[in-house]
């Protein structure tokens, strides 16, 4: 254990903390003990998502281009082995296991109330030992092809990606995380191994465990199973994305009882990634504009224009960002018009000190409550590491946030020329 560099990071507000470990294998490991919890949650993630379709390894001269959907495809295939797949192994221990691919990461996880060491060994084992053949890849192409068709029948999923397709000209965020039937048909076993060797290098990954566990328990397994990779860094490359949108309205017809909508503003910033300060400031702005205590939300609800599906989100990642409003509405165009009007009025008057302090206190309380959830903690540790932040940084950012900074973000982020409305509705009979 002496070869591992261990640091304890404590938060005075919560009176608890976590261990940050630079493991001798090159992997960053986090352990957040919760002694009074019965369950344990572990997540093993790599900074590799659906947008990573063009990249260059530090030990290669040329960029590699891969088909859309490869990261998601690789996630599916990694559960397989020559004998029992990982789900079958977890079924024997009683753990609940899963995985997900997002735009910028892929994560493998489990939660259990017993047999932690055995479950942890399964996680480290299958993620570290890929098994692909051309035959199994071909079989998976059919399975994921069916999954892509299934997503096409999801109004909310289609609405989001129609929005992104209308918003972004070149950025791969506009392409479904699972890819297309055409793109996944181009994936080969050789290609999967190449992506695995690049992005599943331990220096590009992070592991977090929270709940009923100890540092000694986690490192006892990690020290035994993890060996050092030859360190490789990855340079990502994207085509230039113009500030302009493709179109401001897109509509698709699907059998829905009530139209589904997504409305957002494409942002343009100098830096490729948003800071934690910008992320929190935008969440405060969205709460003021359309949160459940806002005049706009009450107005939309009273007029029957939205229901309890209405929500806001700051959608952002590498080279993309957009504040979004979504839900169901009998008149999405009117909802979008009222959101625009409310934002325009707020930009004219600016956020007051009273409004700012109210939502800041609310955000602080929400952050405190999140630390009671072990899966939120573990996933938060991985995500924070991938964006070079510490898990507790949010407390200081909220406390130090400046009203002028929030108002400046408000003024520059909501450009009516980059607003897009996406609607999925029932086709009207002529």
Query: What whole-number percentage of the chain has pLDDT above 70?
Result: 99
5 vs 124: CA distance, rounded Å: 20
Fold of the domain spanning 249-425: Cytochrome Bc1 Complex; Chain A, domain 1 (3.30.830)
C-alpha dihedral sign at 167, 171, 176, 182: positive
* Least confident interval from 7-16, 76-85, 280-289, 342-351: 76-85
At residue 2, the pLDDT reads: 53
Confidence of residue 231 (pLDDT cuts 50, 70, 90): confident
Condensed to tens digits (0 to 9), the pLDDT of residues 135-149 reads 999 999 999 999 999
Confidence of residue 152 (pLDDT cuts 50, 70, 90): confident
At residue 237, the pLDDT reads: 87
Stated pTM of the model: 0.93
At residue 430, the pLDDT reads: 54
Condensed to tens digits (0 to 9), the pLDDT of residues 26-70 reads 999 999 999 889 999 999 999 999 999 999 998 888 999 999 999
Strand blocks (E) in 266-381: 311-317, 320-328
Beta bridge partners of 55: 64, 236
At residue 77, the pLDDT reads: 94
Instruction: Calculate mean pLDDT across residues 321-330.
Output: 98
Instruction: Calculate mean pLDDT across residues 221-250.
Output: 93
Write the CB contacts of 4 (distance below 8 Å, at least 6 apart in sequence): 21, 22, 23, 24, 219, 223
Condensed to tens digits (0 to 9), the pLDDT of residues 170-182 reads 999 999 999 999 9
Instruction: Calculate mean pLDDT across residues 219-226.
Output: 96
Annotate 60-111 with DSSP letters as a single string: -SS-EE--TTHHHHHHHHHT--SSS-HHHHHHHHT-EEEEEE-SS-EEEEEE
| Burial (Cβ within 10 Å: 0-12, 13-18, ≥19) of residue 195 | buried
Tell me how long the chain is.
430
Confidence of residue 81 (pLDDT cuts 50, 70, 90): confident
Domain ranges in the chain are 5-236, 249-425
Q: Alpha-carbon Rg of the chain, whole angstroms?
A: 23
190 vs 113: CA distance, rounded Å: 38
Q: How many CA atoms lie within 13 A of 203 on its CB side?
A: 11
198 vs 158: CA distance, rounded Å: 31
At residue 151, the pLDDT reads: 86
How are beta strands 249-253 and 96-101 bridged, if at all? Answer: unpaired
Condensed to tens digits (0 to 9), the pLDDT of residues 271-286 reads 888 999 999 999 999 9
Instruction: Calculate mean pLDDT across residues 151-163.
Output: 94
Would you please indicate which residues are annotated as catalytic (active-site) residues? 75
Condensed to tens digits (0 to 9), the pLDDT of residues 110-122 reads 999 999 999 999 9
Beta bridge partners of 98: 109
Q: What is the mean pLDDT of the chain?
A: 94
At residue 1, the pLDDT reads: 44
The DSSP H or E segment spanning 30 is: strand 28-33
Q: Which homologous superfamily does the CATH classification assign to the domain defined by 5-236?
A: Metalloenzyme, LuxS/M16 peptidase-like (3.30.830.10)
Residue 104 clears pLDDT 60, i.e. is over it = yes
């Amino acid at each position: 254990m002496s070869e591992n560099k261990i640091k304890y990071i404590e938060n005075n507000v919560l009176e608890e903390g976590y261990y940050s470990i630079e493991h001798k294998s090159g992997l960053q490991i986090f352990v957040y003990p919760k002694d009074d919890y019965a369950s344990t949650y572990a997540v093993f993630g790599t900074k590799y998502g659906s947008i990573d379709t063009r990249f260059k390894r530090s030990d290669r001269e040329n960029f590699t281009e891969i088909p859309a959907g490869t990261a998601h495809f690789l996630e599916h295939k990694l559960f397989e082995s020559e004998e029992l797949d990982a789900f079958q192994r977890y079924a024997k221990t009683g753990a609940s296991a899963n995985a997900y691919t997002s735009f910028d990461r892929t994560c493998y996880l489990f939660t259990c109330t017993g047999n932690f060491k055995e479950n942890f060994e399964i996680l480290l084992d299958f993620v570290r030992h890929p098994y692909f053949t051309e035959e199994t890849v071909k079989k998976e192409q059919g399975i994921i092809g069916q999954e892509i068709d299934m997503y096409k029948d999801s109004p909310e999923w289609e609405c989001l990606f129609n929005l992104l397709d209308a918003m972004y000209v070149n950025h791969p965020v506009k392409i479904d995380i699972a890819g297309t039937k055409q793109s996944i048909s181009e994936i080969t076993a050789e290609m999967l191994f190449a992506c695995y060797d690049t992005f599943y290098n331990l220096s590009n990954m992070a592991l977090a465990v929270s709940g009923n566990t100890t540092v000694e328990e986690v490192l006892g397994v990690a020290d035994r199973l993890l060996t050092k990779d030859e360190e490789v860094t990855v340079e990502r490359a994207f085509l230039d994305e113009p500030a302009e949108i493709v179109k401001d309205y897109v509509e698709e017809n699907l059998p829905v009882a009530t139209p589904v909508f997504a409305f957002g503003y494409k942002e343009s910033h100098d830096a490729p990634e948003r800071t934690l300060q910008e992320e929190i400031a935008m969440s405060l702005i969205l709460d003021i504009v359309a949160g459940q205590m806002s005049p706009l939300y009450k107005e939309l609800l009273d007029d029957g224009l939205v229901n309890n599906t209405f929500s806001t989100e700051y959608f952002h990642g590498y080279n993309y960002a957009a504040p979004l409003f979504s839900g169901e509405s009998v008149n999405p165009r009117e909802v979008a018009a009222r959101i625009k009007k409310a934002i325009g009025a707020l930009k004219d008057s600016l956020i007051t000190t009273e409004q700012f302090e109210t939502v800041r206190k609310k955000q602080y309380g929400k952050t405190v409550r999140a630390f009671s959830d072990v899966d939120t903690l573990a996933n938060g540790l991985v995500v924070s590491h991938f964006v070079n932040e510490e898990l507790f940084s949010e407390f200081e950012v909220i406390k130090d946030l400046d009203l002028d900074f929030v108002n400046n973000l408000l003024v520059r982020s909501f450009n009516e020329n980059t607003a897009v409305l996406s609607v999925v509705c029932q086709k009207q009979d002529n």
